[in-house]
Amino acid sequence: MSSPNVLPFPTPAKRRPTLQSLLGMTHDLLALAKLGDWEGAMRLQEQRRDALELFFADVPVTLAKADIASTIRAILQFDAELTGHLQQSRQALMVEARGARQQRQAAGAYLSYSSS
């Protein structure tokens, strides 16, 4: 007699995120960006995306629309600030790459000159 493929314990259901937890994740995401921890920020962004999808898949009717709207506005404001940090970091990396390329060219020129 074969038994169905059942786990011995039920798997826990994903906990519904709250407006506060979504806002907290967004705040933490911005803090990671300010620290330059882009890997951590990326991991947290993936978690936040999943949490947002879970939250908006079935919004509790007990929540006031005004509370939801103000939280969304705050998240968008944090995201705009996060985008600014990302652009600054990208610009700094481009400057650094340009400097490295110039150093490589200078080293190549020196080696060519000294080998002659």
The candidate with the shortest Cα–Cα distance to 44, out of 14, 67, 21, is 21
The candidate with the shortest Cα–Cα distance to 60, out of 16, 112, 28, is 16
In angstroms, the CA 28 to CA 45 distance is 10
Predicted local confidence at residue 110, as pLDDT = 78
The candidate with the shortest Cα–Cα distance to 19, out of 54, 100, 110, 77, is 54
CATH classification number, 19-115, choose in 3.40.225.10, 2.50.20.10, 3.40.50.11540, 1.20.58.380? 1.20.58.380
Predicted local confidence at residue 105, as pLDDT = 86
Predicted local confidence at residue 11, as pLDDT = 44
- pTM for this model (two decimals): 0.68
Q: What are the structural domain ranges in the chain?
A: 19-115
Q: Per-residue pLDDT for the chain (116 aa), expressed as one digit of tens each? A: 445 555 555 444 568 899 999 999 999 999 999 999 999 999 999 999 999 999 999 888 888 999 999 999 999 999 999 999 989 988 988 888 898 888 888 888 778 887 76
Contact 89, 38 (CB under 8 A): yes
Contact 33, 79 (CB under 8 A): no
- E strands, 5-74, where? none
